[in-house]
Amino acid sequence: MDKFYICGGKKLNGELEISTSKNAVLPILAGCILCDGVITIHKFPKYEDTKNMLEILEHLGASFKFQGDSVILDCTNISESTIPIELANKIRSSIFSLGSILSRQKKAKVAYPGGCNIGARPIDLHIKGLKCLGVKIIERHGYIYCDGGNMKAGTIPLDFPSVGATENLILASVFLKGRTKIINCAKEPEIIDLANFLNEMGAKVFGAGTSTIIVEGVEHLNGVEYTPIGDRIIAGTYVIATCMCGGKVTLNNVNSEHIYSLLNKLENSACKVHSYSDKITISALGKPNCISKIETRPFPGFATDLQPQIVAMLSIAKGTSVVVENLFESRFRHISELKKLGADIITKENTAIIKGVNKLYGAEVMAYDLRGGAGAVLAGLVSEGYTTISDIYHIDRGYYEMEKDLQKLGAEIERISTKE
């Protein structure tokens, strides 16, 4: 099992290219199931999650090959409609395949998905939405059995603006004759990117990025070459890292509007951000200031995927901050690891009260999940002495060779392979 070994106290300076968004690529890969031709995805990010998703597509009958930084997929021979437990357990986003498989095969058998253990992530919204389209569903023995023989366009009111459900229902509706209306949709940039990808293949998806999406059914989709958006969560992570460590960093392949909620909160936190069309520059001016209150919300609100990282920053900020986690009830598990480094944090239900300390001290900590692990890395970067982070396979699911990115900026961090 690999570990990170960090010597804290180094400032960050330099320039980085932000990789393609994992959360955009995963539903796009599910969308590839709908095409019976060849698709090229440029700047393909080789995270564990994206590689696991390719494995699912291969199981379904697709073939793929890497060519430089691109992946070329041939989905002509997709014929399988089952995703077994051993594949679904590897990745939460396996559920995205459900809508696509139903669209193409009119039936599906998909095991309940895996992913990070950050609390209940119910798929009821997906199932309820598919039933609105006429899908017959039985849940039994860890599988979701779907019969889409009588699928038809319709209206789907979502009880909550779920990103995954919005994406899944778009994919399920592409081939349905007539017009499907999805109400109370999530508005995340990744949904807009999925709609753009599908539309370039010949789909008719309207309203992505708003609360109502219309999908007009088409008969088939053509192959396409596509470059997904940059990863706003990775960008946000490195923005916070710079604010914590000090220095000046430029991040390329970033749309500042995608992380506006973060940049807005940092306006009074001793760092200056200059935004350009496709990059941002962060200049840290000193120790971060506290932020009176942050609440995680669906986009365009503050991203829950940046909550552990901002908590790490606030643990060394001047003053007391409050963070409220509204989306996942177990997403404060990472705080126990920050406390090992000396953080002064009290949690009560979904609220964390963070009293900034003068200094954190290196220790052995664990990455409980993907984003919590990233927060631990950031805390290690500013801790006095050495910090060891175990279980970093969680981090690898969403940050490709994170240590190399940070090394480019001057951080002292190594990946150590251990035999266990």
Active site residues: 116
Give the CA distances from residue 87 to residues 49, 60, 91, 111, 269, in Å, rounded to whole numbers and listed in that order: 11, 11, 8, 8, 43
Tokens of 358: 């003068």
The helix/strand/coil state of 36 is coil
Distance (Å, rounded) from C-alpha 55 to C-alpha 72? 14
**Is the Cα dihedral 278, 281, 282, 285 positive or negative?**
negative
CA 205 to chain centre: 22
Q: What is the CA radius of gyration of the chain?
A: 21
CB 213 within 8 A of CB 182: yes
Question: How buried is residue 294: exposed, middle or buried, by Cβ count under 10 Å (0-12/13-18/19+)?
Answer: buried
Q: Which amino acid is at 60?
A: L
- Consecutive H or E run containing 331: none
List, as one string, the DSSP characters of 391-413.
Answer: -THHHHTTSTTHHHHHHHTT-EE
DSSP at 68? T
Q: What is the DSSP letter of 288?
A: P
Reading phi first (left if > 0) and then psi (alpha if -120 to 50, else beta), residue 133 is in alpha
Q: Which residues make beta-bridge pairs with 249?
A: 14, 282
The CA-based angle 302-28-301, given to 5 degrees, is 10
Which of 105, 57, 58, 62 is CA-nearest to residue 81?
105
Cα-to-chain-centroid distance, residue 181: 25
Q: Where are the alpha helices (DSSP H) in 254-392?
A: 260-265, 307-314, 335-340, 370-382
Q: Are strands 2-7 and 412-417 parallel, antiparallel or unpaired?
A: antiparallel
Element housing 368 (H / E)? none
Q: Are the CB atoms for 330 and 117 separated by under 8 Å?
A: yes
